[in-house]
Amino acid sequence: MSTRLPQVAGEWVERDQPLEFSFEGRRYGGYQGDNITSALLANGVDLLGRSFKYHRPRSVLSAAGHDANLVMQSGGRSHQPNLRADTTLLQAGMQLTPVNVQGSLASDRGSLLDRLSALLPVGFYYKAFHSKRLFPFWEALIRRYGGLGQIDITAPRRFTAKRYDFCDVLVVGAGAAGLSAALAAADAGARVVLVDENLRIGGSSVFDRGGEAPDPAVQALIRNVERHPGIRIRTLTLACGYYTDHWIALIEGARMTKLRARAVVITTGAIEQPAVFRNNDLPGIMLGSAAQRLIYRHAIRPFDRVVVLAGNDAAYRTALDLLGHGISIVGIVDLRQSIPSSPALQALSAAQVPLHAGHCIQEALGGLRVEGAVIAPFRDGEADVSKRFLLPCNGIVMSTGWAPAGGLLYQAGATMRYDDTLGQFIPDLLPEGTYAAGRVNGVYGGNRMADGRCAGLAAAAHAGIGQPSDNTANLREGTAQSHPWPIVSHAGGKNFVDFDEDLQLKDFANAVQEGFDNIELLKRYTTCGMGPSQGKHSNMNAIRILARLRGESPGQVGTTTARPFIEPVPLAHLGGRGFNAERETPVHALHAAAGAIFMPAGNWQRPEYYAVDGMSREAAIRAEALAVRSGVGLIDVGTLGKIEIIGPDAGAFLERVYTGRFANMRPGTTRYGVMLDEAAVVIDDGVVARLSEQCFYFTTTTSGSAGVYRELGRLNTLWQMNCGIVNLTGHCAAFNLAGPKSREVLQTLTGSELGQQAFPYLAAREIDIAGMPARVLRIGFVGELGFEIHVPAEHACTLWQALLQAGAAAGIRPFGVEAQRLLRLEKGHLIIGQDTDGLTNPDEAGVAWAVKMDKPFFVGQRSLTIIRKQAPVQQLAGFSLDGEQAKKVRECHLVIAEGQMAGRVTSVAYSPTLKCYVGLAMLRTDLTAIGTSFTIRVTDGKLVAARVVATPFYDAEGLRQKTVAAEGLAA
Amino acid sequence: MKIMTCPVNGPRPVSEFVYAGEVCDMPDPSQCDDASWADYVFNRNGAPGIKKEWWYHAPSGTWFIAERDTVRDIVLATWLHRPVAP
């Protein structure tokens, strides 16, 4: 039974800070500095979890989160579905339960599955779900028995913030190598960030002691790093992803930091790997480094009589650490035939610890806890069962080998090779600016500091600071740190390779036999390494097994691809909060005060309509439209793109980017412009005003403004014409004052003559309005007498209010996008992007009149020449609808002719002026003759009859917008 | 996130930039046949390799050319477009 030791030098627990928590409903005490695992072990609770598939009893394996044995759910206010007990600090009041348990840990009803394991072969999912008929059965079963924590959807939302950080050199991992790297780089003058996932820095040097006091060299290093002003230490921080150009995702608590470094040193160390033998997952069997962590960090004695399974020198240091804390060693079982001499070995011999060289553990015995180890001679990777014997114990410690914690290196783009001497993958080629040192680099023991120093200096030099080290000595040791085959087969199976997914040795043989003999295929078929620990304790053994089955070396088998994130983190970090940039016109607040209901248009917020108490949305929109038709209305069109182009070539440039002719315009006039892309697709339209000989001012569509300005810039970069392009979209506000009474309203605000002679239709004037300099264009988008007024944005609110005041007597009404869409539809004016799509050419859109093919060049001209040689396919046409069904017709409904698709509705609305539904549709050309009847299929599948009519639907002559006659109408 | 170097503003995060396709020279519209014009308009070479592309630094409105190795995902060089002498 596990227990808390008396104070251990350097322990992380703070005994003067007790905390209370509960587990499976029982109350326990722990200390500040405990993690969930250590706090439970301190209370003698050492059955801590159930396995994913077979619900086998589980306890500590790595004590470092390199396995998923210990996943807990916390309830109450701090609800979290999947806490990793090894790496989660204990907090006061935690209410913990194990995940994946039916009943209690001690009597989990799911443990029946362990006895049915023969029915759950490798590739079970693929086989089970092959049958459609049985799919629902298996799904229900697996959903009940599988899975981890339960999500409480009523839990309060936790916000996960993002922040950005920068440094010269980032060092990941604060062990001996990382500390040295950070210090060397900082001494050279680099700004260094040192991150470590643990509560305190020092890495394995602090707990891998061989029974001795902490290494004074490392202690001095820690002090120097902590004092150095050039080093920022970030503990409890996971470096989770390595992205392009040294961009690292750091997770600390509820925050993610996106850190950009000039150079990165990876000193993440090595992850100890379990040995594979029957029942190697029984509680009480753990890695040597796990026992060391528990003893020195948390003062936990996890057992008192152990068998040590050894495959490298680390096992002997671990054995001394155990001996020094009151744990008796029943025997050391070493997989190697001959054991290299070391001080640790001599000390253990002196302590008369029995040593069994050339032996393995063939099987562990026990129920809810290990009770003994069956030992057998081990030769050529096979156990000799004829000479086996039993060693009773209540713990087994495995120290047989390592795998580099190389996830970040792989993500950075490093290639790794297998070093046969070390028995480990080590970096082969590192990308520029990425460095590795220490165990992840294959350097063990005292050389780690020198290796770290070299890497730190090289990283600083890459960041342009100082000089790289001239130390080019090979710092890697000549002895293996990992046993090449710590794996023992057993007829009874249950010798686990992947503890997350309950994968046994035979599963790999079966998968290979079934043809999945490539490491990536093997991974997916067996699901090895696909559990929460992502292969940290299982991939290396899987590679060794596959290599042996294929008669290759691990290097030839290779590794699987490592992807971000290298540690499981709450999904909230990846989701975060969404930020959508929204643009508002300068008069947004006035719209809001006037009851505007806003809608998105591109990234702009525009008033859809202005809500009126006691009036429906439709009624309000119709009232706005009516105001424009009969009196005067005012709309904010400041979202239009507004571009000025100045210079001797300005006119010539416009002729190349628009289809029309502009060079011959007289100053003070406007012209409609259509823009095509290279494929002759209509991409934008607007009004071009010539203000002077060398200055044009033009508008683009709201959603097209950024793209049009950008593309014009590119074209002039390419063409190098003598003109400059200025984007005034945000600089200028624009309002359209429209309606038969618009002139009389505007006239009250200006001394300039606005009459038909002085300011005719399509004229442009730079005049003062209410004392503000304005550009005024007389255009008729909504089909009435209208003035589009552009002023600098800072005058926008003053002008808006002045116009509303001036129009008050005439019954002026602000109108929104919906009313404008209705009004322009009555005029048959198209909206690019609504009535056209990504393939529509100007002939189809009905704007061929604005295309001047006799110009020498414009964008899209050559393609349009080719298109015009072919028969036209479709054409935008106006239609009207009668009858009850008309209101069912919506935009994008299909036009059906002889059962075939023959077009689609692009715009449709009820016209209060015309007292019927009108719309535009892109129709097959044979349907476009005036008077043709066609049918539209509405949402419920019914066909609604429509008839092609001429556009404009309203004021076909355009008299209202063009002439003095409008004044007569207004009276 | 990747870094792109604007020839005017220096290295900036790639999210500030807009990619605008490979640089391809327009054939003379009055001389070329329909097929070669269609090839210019519609066909792009997606094979990985060294590409010359149009890029735009949006905050400053700077157009420039970037040469990228799309196999190694490396920006080899960036420069402002220089017009060919007439």
Confidence of residue A147 (pLDDT cuts 50, 70, 90): low
Cβ of A245 and B3 within 8 Å? yes
CA of A713, closest CA in chain B: separation in Å?
Answer: 7
pLDDT at A130 over 90: no
CA of A647, closest CA in chain B: separation in Å?
Answer: 19
CA of B46, closest CA in chain A: separation in Å?
Answer: 19
A496's tokens: 């686990």
CA of B81, closest CA in chain A: separation in Å?
Answer: 7
Q: Which residues contact A677 (CB under 8 A, 6 or more apart)?
A: A683, A859, A860
Across A29-47, average pLDDT:
96
Amino acid at B31: Q
A112's tokens: 């029946």
Q: Find the residue in A nearest to B28 (Cα).
A: A862
Task: List residues of A whose CB lies inside 8 A of any B CB.
Answer: 243-245, 247, 258, 260, 678-679, 710, 713-714, 717-718, 720, 727, 857, 861-863, 866
Across A538-544, average pLDDT:
96
Give strand pairing partners of A167: A261
List the one residue out of A472, A471, A468, A476 whose CA is nearest residue A185: A468
* DSSP notation for A838-851: TT--HHHHT-GGG-
Q: What is the pLDDT of residues A450-473, one digit of tens each?
A: 999 999 999 999 999 999 988 777
B59 CB neighbours in chain A (<8 A) are none
Higher model confidence: residue A292 or residue A446? A292
Distance between CA atoms of A3 and A304, rounded to whole angstroms?
10
* Whole-Å CA distances, A717 to A515, A711, A723: 58, 10, 11
pLDDT confidence of residue A655: 96
* Chains A & B: contacts with CB separation below 8 Å: 43
Q: Among partner residues B2, B29, B54, which is closest to A714 by beta-carbon distance?
A: B54
- Dump strand ranges (E) for A295-412: 300-301, 305-310, 328-334, 355-357, 359-366, 370-379, 382-383, 389-392, 395-399, 402-404
Confidence of residue A970 (pLDDT cuts 50, 70, 90): very low
Touching check for B86 and chain A: CB below 8 Å? no
Q: Among partner residues B18, B29, B56, which is closest to A862 by beta-carbon distance?
A: B29
Q: Which residues contact A233 (CB under 8 A, 6 or more apart)?
A: A174, A194, A196, A201, A225, A226
B70 CB neighbours in chain A (<8 A) are none
- Mean pLDDT, chain A, integer: 93
Q: A578: buried, middle or exposed (CB in 10 Å: 19+, 13-18, 0-12)?
A: exposed
Confidence of residue B86 (pLDDT cuts 50, 70, 90): very low
pLDDT at A639 over 80: yes
pLDDT confidence of residue A840: 97
Across B56-78, average pLDDT:
95
Across A524-545, average pLDDT:
94
B58 CB neighbours in chain A (<8 A) are 710
**In contact, A547 and A556? CB cutoff 8 Å:** yes
**In contact, A316 and A310? CB cutoff 8 Å:** yes
**Test mutation, A242, A262, A863, A865, chain B, max B CBs within 10 A:** A863
Cβ of B41 and A678 within 8 Å? yes
Distance between CA atoms of A652 and B83, rounded to whole angstroms?
18
Distance between CA atoms of A129 and A789, rounded to whole angstroms?
67
Across A573-597, average pLDDT:
90
Q: How many residues does chain B have?
A: 86
**Test mutation, B1, B70, B71, chain A, max A CBs within 10 A:** B1
Across A533-545, average pLDDT:
95
Q: Among partner residues A258, A717, A861, which is closest to B81 by beta-carbon distance?
A: A717
Q: Find the residue in A nearest to B31 (Cα).
A: A862
pLDDT at A486 over 80: yes
Q: Among partner residues B1, B61, B81, which is closest to A718 by beta-carbon distance?
A: B81
Helix (H, G, I), strand (E, B) or coil at A20: strand
Distance between CA atoms of A359 and A801, rounded to whole angstroms?
93
Cβ of A714 and B18 within 8 Å? no
* DSSP 8-state class, residue A27: E
Q: What is the pLDDT of residues A497-516, one digit of tens each?
A: 999 999 999 999 999 999 99
pLDDT confidence of residue A113: 78
Q: Find the residue in A nearest to B1 (Cα).
A: A244
Distance between CA atoms of B69 and B51, rounded to whole angstroms?
6
CA of A828, closest CA in chain B: separation in Å?
Answer: 32
Q: State the ipTM, two decimals.
A: 0.96
Give strand pairing partners of A636: A735
Q: What is the pLDDT of residues A380-421, one digit of tens each?
A: 999 999 999 999 999 999 999 999 999 999 999 999 999 999
Distance between CA atoms of A101 and A58, rounded to whole angstroms?
12
Helix (H, G, I), strand (E, B) or coil at A297: helix
Amino acid at A778: R
Touching check for B25 and chain A: CB below 8 Å? no
Q: What is the pLDDT of residues A893-936, one digit of tens each?
A: 999 999 999 999 999 999 988 899 999 999 999 999 999 999 99
CA of A657, closest CA in chain B: separation in Å?
Answer: 15
List the one residue out of A72, A124, A142 whose CA is nearest residue A101: A72
Cβ of B81 and A713 within 8 Å? no
CA of B47, closest CA in chain A: separation in Å?
Answer: 21
Cβ of B73 and A244 within 8 Å? yes
pLDDT confidence of residue A132: 85
Q: What is the pTM of this model?
A: 0.86
Cβ of A244 and B18 within 8 Å? no
Q: What is the pLDDT of residues A818-872, one digit of tens each?
A: 999 999 999 999 999 999 999 999 999 999 999 999 999 999 999 999 999 999 9
Q: Among partner residues A258, A679, A866, which is closest to B34 by beta-carbon distance?
A: A866
pLDDT confidence of residue B84: 62
**In contact, A249 and A564? CB cutoff 8 Å:** yes
State the Rg of chain A over Cα.
Answer: 39
Across A235-244, average pLDDT:
96
Helix (H, G, I), strand (E, B) or coil at A421: coil
Helix (H, G, I), strand (E, B) or coil at A864: helix
A863 CB neighbours in chain B (<8 A) are 37-38, 41
pLDDT at A744 over 80: yes
Per-residue three-class SS string for A43-91: CCCCCCEECCCCCCEECCCCCCCCCCCCEEEECHHHCEEEEECCCCECC
Number of helical (H) and strand (E) elements in chain A, helices listed first: 27, 50
pLDDT at A717 over 60: yes
Q: Find the residue in A nearest to B30 (Cα).
A: A862
pLDDT at A156 over 90: no
Q: Find the residue in B nearest to A718 (Cα).
A: B83
pLDDT confidence of residue A368: 93
List the one residue out of A878, A853, A850 whose CA is nearest residue A867: A853
Across A792-802, average pLDDT:
97
Q: Among partner residues A710, A717, A862, which is closest to B37 by beta-carbon distance?
A: A862
Percent over 90 (pLDDT), chain A:
84
Residue the block writes with tokens 């063939």: A362
Confidence of residue A966 (pLDDT cuts 50, 70, 90): very low
Helix (H, G, I), strand (E, B) or coil at A959: helix
List the one residue out of A930, A909, A928 whose CA is nearest residue A918: A909
Q: Find the residue in B nearest to A869 (Cα).
A: B34
pLDDT at A576 over 80: no
Cβ of B18 and A710 within 8 Å? yes
Cβ of B1 and A718 within 8 Å? no
Touching check for B63 and chain A: CB below 8 Å? yes
**In contact, B77 and B20? CB cutoff 8 Å:** no
CA distance from start to end of chain A: 101
